[in-house]
Amino acid sequence: MQAATAIVLLVAAFGSVAPHGLVISPLARHAYFRDQSYPQNVPMYWDSQGVWCGNAPQDPTYSTCGRCGDQSGSNDHDLGGNFGNNYVGTNWTAGAIVDVVAEFQAAHYGSFQIELCAQETETNDCFNLLPIVGGSEEVRDGNRICVPYDNGGTNIVTAQVRLPAGVRCNRCTIRWTYRTSYPGWSPYDQCYNPNPTQTFRNCANVRIN
């Protein structure tokens, strides 16, 4: 009876933290177990859909969100952390326009941005926003693509991102940050909430030739 109760509580706890979103191209580090071509055994993060800053609402500076989406004080998803391996499954060309693809299972409107740390040694200060020149949804401010969904179904949003012409690396980091518009604010904007809001962040390894 106690074991059954524990299972119910565990399911309820996981159910209350429903999967929300992740970057699938390039594939987020914490979701490498999805890639059958990966040459090693990788740990399975319990929620392959999202790393969400410890579920702490984030202001526009993401002041309590870790480098790659961990809660403040943790570095499990940073390079070298428990899920931060250095496997590179994506090769890009310097100066090219590339597709960055995000998958949502429980979107809450908002928008996402893409950053590049153009060095092999990943630090908190090495990331720079990349321009988004097009995509499957509305682009705002030249570096944010809207997520026009608020549901529990699978939705895909593709951003066309321009890489800097002079940057090459054997392994560098793409960071995807999805800032929801949940909870809502007034006047409500489906694409951007300037107040502290639920935020998801992933890091992925790429090679730029």
CATH of the domain at 52: 2.70.50.50
Which pLDDT belongs to residue 41? 65
Choose among 169, 24, 27, 171: nearest CA to 101.
24
What pLDDT, in 10s, does the model give residues 41-89? 666 665 555 588 998 999 999 999 999 999 999 999 999 998 888 889 8
pTM value?
Answer: 0.88
Which pLDDT belongs to residue 46? 54
Provide the 3-class DSSP secondary structure of residue 43.
coil
Taking CA 180 as the corner, what is the angle to CA 178 and CA 185, rounded to the nearest 5 degrees? 150
**178 belongs to a structural domain:** yes
Q: What is the pLDDT along the chain (209 residues), one digit of tens a residue?
A: 333 333 233 323 333 344 488 999 999 988 887 777 776 666 666 555 558 899 899 999 999 999 999 999 999 999 999 888 888 989 999 999 999 999 998 899 999 999 999 999 999 999 999 999 999 999 999 999 999 999 878 999 999 999 999 999 999 999 999 999 987 777 889 999 999 999 999 999 999 99
Q: Return the H-helix or E-strand segment holding 187.
A: none
**12 belongs to a structural domain:** no
Q: Tell me the residue range of the domain where 160 lies.
A: 19-208
Q: How far is CA 173 from CA 5, 63, 90, 139, in A?
A: 42, 20, 11, 22
**64 belongs to a structural domain:** yes
If one counts the domains in the chain, the total is 1
* C-beta of residue 52 within 8 angstroms of C-beta of residue 199: yes
**112 belongs to a structural domain:** yes
Choose among 26, 51, 18, 54: nearest CA to 114.
26
* Alpha-carbon gap, residue 61 to 195, rounded angstroms: 11
Which pLDDT belongs to residue 140? 97
**5 belongs to a structural domain:** no
**8 belongs to a structural domain:** no
* C-beta of residue 155 within 8 angstroms of C-beta of residue 163: no
* C-beta of residue 200 within 8 angstroms of C-beta of residue 24: no
**4 belongs to a structural domain:** no
Which pLDDT belongs to residue 187? 81
Provide the 3-class DSSP secondary structure of residue 29.
helix
**180 belongs to a structural domain:** yes
